[in-house]
């Protein structure tokens, strides 16, 4: 019998082969000379434009396209600050608008001063560097560092030298984040989750093109984990759970252990959260109201639903995390709040405390509550200790930490002198199965094997060096690598 897992695994194998092949041929990063994407073009003293096209990072194709088509332009006599567009496109250009002009993988940003009905556009400074190239184009709408669709809230650049680089990773997408993936023919259910390739242009002060970004942001020692649920006997009847089995849960589960507060391990501030449903129990937020008084702070949340049943619902004292597109794309942990009361008739939940900043308050950013299942216990019995952020403290060493129903985990100390570098959002997955009353986790004669993270895996590539001052922004594009076509004209 063919299952979704079989097809998913085959697709993953094929995708891995393609990524490895591209990385072996291209190297760590590179883009085609005819369609080189993610080029950096100076725009203002605090922003810059990002050119569309293709760029490969560790064999992964990153594509940037604009929402509207560019307009072909031509020069106007000897006026180096003017260009002409077809009259039908003249309405797309207005006074004081910033436009991106490109040709031959070069680009500049200018401000429109005047537009005539016949399509002559006057800008604020010289554009001959573009007009002297073949097939120049104008983009009335373009993507800049501060207006990236997959990186909300990028900080403005300060007056300094910075390395501009590309951060590539995969984000889980469900119908909560994108309602269009529901199947309308079946009445609206979401049949599967999706994975979105996120490409974010970021800055690093005082960087250099040869900076090893992977070692800096994604070190190898990001933690190792063991998981067990040992048993003494196994029933011949798969429907009967042995009374002395360590995993005594009534359902098959996929446990998710995720880092909440990261950093170099110090035994006091790094925390994790866990979910028996792989973190999939979420509740879309319709309205969030935070109230703070001299005695208490509470958050009232109106939800789209309260879950389809008890297993995927909410109960008092549950821990929930307030998230939205901003917090997910910035890789920050949301505030963990405890459910105080539930008004099922009005789909309203009252939480103890308030979320940080403005997370969860803007409907267009797909706010949601995500349920987590940790709770405090007796450390002497393997119970969890909750930190000030309401997540469980990471304890490295030989101590086993109990989740529930016999599932236990153990964080491994770093092997060298450098402590483990935990990173917010990294996670492990632990399948637990009632048929074997155990977890599916590799073992050796001495017990469970310590495994690295399941994700999230980031890929990095330098793009440019920028020098920013009050006079403007100077871009050095030598960081990018260019791929030339293999095919050449025959020798005659």
Task: Tell me: pLDDT of 231 over 80.
Answer: no
pLDDT band for position 403 (50/70/90)?
A: very high
What is the predicted pLDDT for the residue at 419?
96
Q: Which residues pair with 370 in a beta bridge?
A: 282, 321
DSSP H/E element including 31: strand 29-32
Is 354 exposed, middle or buried (CB count within 10 Å of its CB: 0-12, 13-18, 19+)? middle
237 falls in which pLDDT band (50, 70, 90)?
low
**H-only helix segments in 381-430:** none
Cα–Cα–Cα angle for 135, 63, 92, nearest 5°? 50
Q: How far apart are alpha carbons 345 and 363 in whole angstroms?
A: 22
Q: What percent of the chain has pLDDT over 70?
A: 96
Q: What is the pLDDT of residues 166-219, one digit of tens each?
A: 999 999 999 899 988 888 888 877 767 889 999 999 998 877 888 789 988 999
Residue 271 has pLDDT above 80, yes or no: yes
- Beta carbons within 8 Å of 5's beta carbon, 6+ residues apart: none
Domains of the chain: 4-63+146-217+460-476 (no CATH), 71-141 (2.40.30), 220-276+373-455 (no CATH), 278-370 (2.40.30)
| 375 within 8 A of 384, measured Cβ to Cβ | yes
- Chain mean position to CA 352: 28
pLDDT value at residue 79? 84
Average confidence score pLDDT of the chain? 90
Sorted by sequence, the CB contacts under 8 Å of residue 339 that are 6+ apart come out as 314, 315, 316, 317, 318, 319, 320, 349, 350, 351, 352
Assigned token pair, 28: 């760590």
Of the listed ranges 56-65, 296-305, 359-368, 463-472, the one predicted with least confidence: 463-472
Amino acid 470: pLDDT: 75
**Which structure tokens are listed for 389?**
């952020």
Residue 471: predicted pLDDT: 73
Distance in angstroms (rounded) separating the CA atoms of residues 40 and 93: 23
Residue positions counted in the chain: 492
Give the whole-number percent of the chain exceeding pLDDT 90: 69
420 vs 47, which has greater pLDDT? 420
Q: What is the pLDDT of residue 194?
A: 87
pLDDT in tens, 30-86: 999 989 999 999 877 678 999 999 999 999 999 999 988 999 999 988 789 999 999
**CA 203/CA 161 separation, integer angstroms:** 10
Q: What is the pLDDT of residue 1?
A: 72
pTM to 2 decimal places: 0.89
Cα separation, 380 vs 299, in Å, equals 34
Classify residue 232 as exposed, middle or buried by CB count within 10 Å of its CB (0-12, 13-18, 19+). exposed
Over 80: is that where the pLDDT of 220 sits? yes
Find out whether 386 and 377 touch, Cβ atoms under 8 Å.
no
| CB-facing half-sphere around the CA of 195: CA atoms within 13 A | 10
Q: pLDDT value at position 304?
A: 94
Q: What is the DSSP letter of 134?
A: S
| Beta-bridge partners for 465 | 163, 476
Which element (helix H / strand E) includes 26?
helix 4-26
**What is the predicted pLDDT for the residue at 243?**
52
Is residue 481 within 8 Å of residue 188, measured between CB atoms?
no
Tracing tokens 């950093």 back to the chain, one arrives at 263
Per-residue confidence at 233, pLDDT binned at 50, 70, 90?
very low
């Amino acid at each position: 019998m063919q299952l979704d897992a079989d097809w998913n695994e085959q697709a993953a194998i094929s995708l891995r082969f393609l990524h490895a092949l591209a990385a072996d041929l291209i190297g760590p990063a590179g883009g085609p000379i005819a369609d080189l994407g993610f080029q950096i073009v100076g725009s203002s003293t605090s922003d810059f434009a990002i050119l569309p096209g293709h760029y490969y990072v560790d064999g992964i194709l990153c594509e940037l396209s604009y929402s509207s088509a560019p307009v072909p332009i031509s020069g106007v006599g000897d006026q180096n600050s003017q260009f002409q567009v077809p009259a039908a496109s003249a309405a797309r250009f207005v006074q004081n608008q910033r436009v991106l002009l490109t040709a031959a993988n070069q680009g500049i940003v200018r401000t429109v001063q005047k537009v005539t009905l016949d399509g002559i556009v006057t800008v604020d400074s010289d554009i001959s560097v573009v007009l002297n190239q073949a097939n120049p184009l104008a983009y009335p709408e373009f993507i800049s560092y501060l207006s990236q669709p997959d990186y909300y809230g990028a900080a403005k650049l300060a007056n300094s030298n910075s390395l501009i680089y590309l951060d590539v990773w995969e984000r889980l997408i469900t119908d909560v984040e994108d309602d269009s993936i529901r199947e309308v023919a079946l009445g609206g259910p979401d049949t599967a989750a999706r994975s979105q390739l996120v490409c974010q242009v970021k800055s690093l002060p005082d960087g250099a093109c040869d900076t090893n970004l992977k070692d800096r942001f994604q070190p190898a020692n990001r933690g190792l984990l063991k998981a067990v649920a040992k048993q003494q006997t196994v029933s011949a009847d798969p429907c009967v759970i042995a009374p002395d089995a360590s995993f005594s849960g009534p359902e098959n589960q996929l446990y998710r252990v995720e880092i909440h507060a990261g950093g170099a391990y110090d035994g006091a501030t790094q925390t994790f959260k866990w979910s028996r449903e792989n973190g999939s129990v979420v509740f879309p937020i319709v309205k969030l109201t935070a109230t703070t008084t001299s005695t208490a702070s509470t958050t009232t949340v109106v939800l789209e639903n309260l879950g389809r049943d008890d297993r995927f619902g909410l109960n008092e004292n549950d821990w929930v995390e307030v998230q939205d597109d901003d917090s997910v794309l910035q890789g920050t942990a949301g505030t963990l709040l405890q459910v105080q009361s539930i008004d099922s008739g009005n789909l309203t939940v009252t939480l103890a405390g308030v979320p940080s900043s403005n997370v969860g308050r803007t409907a267009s950013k797909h706010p949601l509550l995500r349920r987590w299942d940790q709770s405090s216990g007796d450390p002497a019995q393997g119970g969890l200790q909750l930190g000030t952020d309401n997540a469980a403290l990471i304890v490295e060493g030989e101590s086993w930490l109990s989740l529930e129903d016999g599932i236990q985990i153990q964080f491994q100390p770093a092997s060298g002198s450098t402590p483990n570098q935990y990173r917010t959002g990294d996670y492990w997955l632990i399948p637990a199965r009632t048929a074997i009353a155990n977890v599916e986790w590799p073992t050796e004669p001495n017990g469970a094997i310590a495994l690295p993270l399941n994700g999230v895996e980031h890929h990095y590539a330098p793009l440019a060096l920028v020098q920013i001052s009050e006079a403007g922004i100077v871009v050095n594009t030598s960081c990018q690598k260019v791929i030339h076509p293999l095919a050449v004209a025959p020798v005659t």
